[in-house]
Amino acid sequence: MPYSAEVSRTNPSCFLFLIDQSGSMDEVLDPTEVRALDRPLAVDGQTFTHSASGRTKAQGVADAINRLLQNLVIKCAKSEGVRDYFEVGVIGYGSNTAAGSVAPALGGAIAGREIVKISEIAENPTRIDERVKKTDDGAGGLLEQKVKFPIWFDPVADGGTPMCAAIQRARDILDRWVQAHQLSFPPIVINVTDGESTDGDPSTVAAGLKSLSTSDGNLLLFNVHISARGGGQVEFPDTDRSLPDEYARLLFQISSVLPPHMQAMARQEGVHTTELSRGFVYNGDMVSVIRFLDIGTRPSNLR
């Protein structure tokens, strides 16, 4: 069966995140998204929260990516250290910097690297911030605890939305990766954006990206749209009929169908899925973004 390869140090999995860093990501989260961010969220048995007042989309996405990286490190932590079950990359697109409009976005000692082993990520946060975690007090309330929160990725919001260039960069990176890891679970690319591509229709380059494969199946491309253009939130749809505009339908169409184990994980989280559900979220608040990232990066067979 496809998408069933065991994830191990010999045959690691790969996650590549494409993060929209265009100027519109500097917009402050609307009241609905703020309320969503302020409510506690359980991920891997941990409950997180932080104050969302005045936060921008870029800041919310950065928090989600840093939390995800921390969770991946925890999943790989064993008594002898962090095992390299995963290789991870974060590519930002849109910022007008010396590095160009599409460039690796991790900071610190691993800055400029396209793909990094999870053990190197564990060893090289840019800095450690202090955050608040809420836990059940056993009496129906929540206790606030200060916890250390490692930062690898900082928010940026500047320039246009060169999504086609970002997807092409992902193909260039992962073409090399799949050639070196033909027995591995295929790479997963998660594109997080709040706007329309400013360098053309991404359909053709997305098809080229999804044509990459290992012996376990084709690369998976997922998309999450965090802009509130109207209409209700849609998670893992199996049709584009409920999507309100042409661009949302386009992102749905270029998204991969969820493998069966991810469909089951989504149902466990209370999200309706079918065998045609795609890895796409429309009009998502930060809670749905975090849940989407968590489901999209849970391995089916980790050894």
For domain 13-296, say whether CATH 3.30.450.40 is its number: no
Q: What is the pLDDT of residue 138?
A: 77
Q: What is the pLDDT of residue 129?
A: 93
Q: How far apart, in whole angstroms, are the C-alpha atoms of residue 112 and residue 36?
A: 33
In DSSP terms, 193 is beta-bridged to 225
Strands 116-117 and 188-193: unpaired
Q: Which two tokens stand for residue 173?
A: 């990176």
Q: In Å, what is the CA distance from 286 to each residue of 59, 72, 87, 195, 279?
A: 10, 19, 24, 16, 16
Q: What is the pLDDT of residue 61?
A: 92
Q: What is the pLDDT along the chain (303 residues), one digit of tens a residue?
A: 689 999 999 999 999 999 999 998 998 866 554 444 434 444 444 444 444 456 899 999 999 999 999 999 999 999 899 999 999 999 999 976 655 699 999 999 999 999 999 999 999 999 999 887 777 777 778 788 888 899 999 999 999 999 999 999 999 999 999 999 999 999 999 999 987 899 999 999 999 999 999 999 999 999 998 865 656 789 999 999 988 889 899 999 999 999 998 998 889 888 899 999 999 999 876 677 777 778 777 766 666
Q: What is the pLDDT of residue 142?
A: 78
Q: What is the pLDDT of residue 240?
A: 94
Q: How far apart, in whole angstroms, are the C-alpha atoms of residue 88 and residue 207?
A: 22
Where do the domains of the chain lie? 13-296
Q: What is the pLDDT of residue 96?
A: 66
| Burial class of 268 by CB neighbour count within 10 A (0 to 12, 13 to 18, 19+) | exposed
Q: Which two tokens stand for residue 263?
A: 């469909």
Q: What is the gyration radius of the CA atoms in the chain, in angstroms?
A: 18
Q: What is the pLDDT of residue 28?
A: 84
Q: What is the pLDDT of residue 34?
A: 43
pTM, 2 dp = 0.88
